[in-house]
Structure 1
Amino acid sequence: MPFDILTIPCREDNYAFLIHDGSRTALVDAPEAAPILAALEQKGWTLDEVWLTHHHFDHVDGLPALRSAFPDLQVTGCKADADRLPPLDRAVSDGDTFQFGGADVHVMDVSGHTINHIAFHMPSQQAVFTADSLMALGCGRVFEGTMPQMWQSLCKLRDLPDDTIVYSGHEYTSNNADFALTIEPDNQALQARVDEVRDKRARGEATVPSTLRDERATNPFLRAHLQPVKDALSMQKAEDADVFAEIRSRKDRF
């Protein structure tokens, strides 16, 4: 049975996600407590688990208040990053699988934005929670890792099934869309998606989640291996990772 997955706006532009299997509830990242607590109260759900993607404050700051509200909360995070995360009840590593509501949750190392950034992939729910690795029409800045490392992380995510829903961590899509047009202005799928994004934002609607199918067709950071993108950047014979690095560097200056 499909789980309920709620997108919770937090802070100025963050998202958290509640996953409910009919009896238990998990949360992906804890940017701030108030909107998460409000959503739980509205639904009549009790929070049982929190899954942390990485250590940045805007993904963990709400955890103390959530622990106070739910003392039996189980917190999951990356074992290799335990010294930078809040105290963990379950420490996981790349390739690990744990269960939630009878569904497998696969842990993926997607380092680049930070070292030891992880994503959570739930194949049975056609869902992947990517936080600041793969984003709608974008990807996170490469703060701690290297450009080749980030490219490899994005390739892992790109290779998931087409119908995977991407639950990413920020509402950056409008700016990402404007930038994407500077890379592939003639991409008709991108043009249509940009119009959709602008319409949604004009109505105050979230552009997250998105589908991996759409990301493959329109997200320049997933398309660095394609010859038309290399041609557009005059990098016809460049390595894929170098093309990605050029796109990411241009976005950093955009």
Structure 2
Amino acid sequence: MTIKIWPISAFSDNYIWAIVQADQAVVVDPGDAAPVLAYLRDQGLTLSNILLTHHHADHVGGVAELVQRTGATVYGPPGPDIPCRDVQLREGDQVNLGIFGQFTVLEVPGHTLDHIAYFGQVDERNVLFCGDTLFATGCGRLFEGNSRQMQQSLDKFRKLPHNTSVYCAHEYTLGNIRWARTVDPHNPDLEQWQREAETLRNNNQATVPTSLEHELKTNPFMRTDEPVVITAAEQHVGHSLDHPENVLEVLREWKNQF
């Protein structure tokens, strides 16, 4: 049977991803139990596993109640702030979810120090659950890590197959695009993407997942080695930048103030 991946909306802009086959489900980063329980009830599903990318409350706040109500097995990164974790994961670990397939764990610090992502195949489709490391046309704020770590993390994503679908955890796309067009105003892919994203949101549809191929064309944080992005960052900060991580640092601070 076909595996479906569905966004469950939570809070003002979070997506809790549900991976569904037949009457079984896995959820990724359930910050709120209520919408997950409602979805499971409405769809007649049993929750078997929970995948966590990092410890922020809007990603883990619903875990304890979901475990209490369903007995789901919880996978997550190391650290004391991951609730109800049954299986601790590190770089290169394999998560075998039976009918849902197998996922490889990537350590991707930057947004937080404990952040991980899950890469695998669902119905022969390459998929990446990246939490708050990579967004559509953006990346996560550097709350705990630094620009070098974030650059290294995004470089790991750049090496994945370009047809990989990117399932990020927030609907930040329109704001990210508006900022990206100040960095790269003559990018036709960005211009087209803005029109498409605005249409999706006007119809109350999610702008994600995107693909890595798409991000490599439209996301300044994935293009820190490209001359147009380097030049924009240098002009913004007023001096030359020698390394991609320095470009990323300027871009991230630029976006923070945008």
* Structure 1 equivalent of residue 41 of structure 2: 41
Query: TM-score w.r.t. structure 2 length?
Result: 0.93
Distance in 2 separating the partners of 1:42 and 1:237: 53
Post-superposition offset of 1:160 = 1.0
Q: Which one of 84, 89, 108 corresponds to residue 87 of structure 1?
A: 84
1:204 Cα deviation after fit: 1.6
How far apart, in 2, do the equivalents of 1:51 and 1:141 lie?
Answer: 21
Distance in 2 (alpha carbons) for counterparts of 1:90 and 1:231: 44
After superposition, the Cα gap between the structure-2 partners of 1:55 and 1:115, relative to the gap in structure 1 and judged at 3 Å, is same
After TM superposition, list the pairs within 5 Å mapping 1:129-168 onto structure 2.
129-168=129-168
Distance 1:238 1:201 in 2: 38
Whether the 8 Å CA contact 2:31–2:57 is kept in 1: the answer is yes
Instruction: Choose the corresponding residue for 1:243, options 235, 242, 247.
Output: 247
Equivalences for 1:1-254 in 2 at 5 Å?
A: 2-22=2-22, 24-70=24-70, 72-78=71-77, 80-81=78-79, 83-102=80-99, 103-123=101-121, 124-234=124-234, 238-254=242-258
Q: For structure 2, which runs of at least 5 residues remain unmatched after alignment? A: none
- 1: CA distance between counterparts of 2:208 and 2:176? 13
Q: Is the 8 A contact 1:54 1:85 kept in 2?
A: yes
**Displacement after TM superposition at 1:245 (Å):** 1.0
Residue 101 of structure 1: CA displacement?
2.4
Between the aligned partners of 1:204 and 1:93, the Cα distance in structure 2 is 36
Q: TM-score, normalised by structure 1?
A: 0.94
SS in 2 for 1:48: strand
CA contact (8 A) 1:227 1:236 kept: no
Does 227-236 or 2-11 show the bigger shift? 227-236
The letter for the 1-side match of 2:31 is P
For the aligned residue pairs, the C-alpha RMSD in angstroms reads: 1.5
Letter of the aligned partner of 1:242 in structure 2? Answer: N
Q: State how many pairs are aligned.
A: 251
- Structure 1 outlier segments of 4+, above 6 Å: none
For structure 1, the residue ranges without an aligned partner over 5 or more in a row are none
Seen in structure 2, the aligned counterparts of structure 1 residues 202 and 179 have a Cα distance that, compared at 3 Å, is same
**Contact persistence 1:136–1:168 (CA under 8 A):** yes
Q: Quote the Cα distance in structure 2 between the aligned partners of 1:84 and 1:61.
A: 11
* SS of residue paired to 1:233: helix
Counterparts of 2:23 and 2:204 in 1: how far apart (Å)? 31
**Deviation of residue 23 (structure 1)?**
5.1
Report the AA paired with residue 93 of structure 1: R
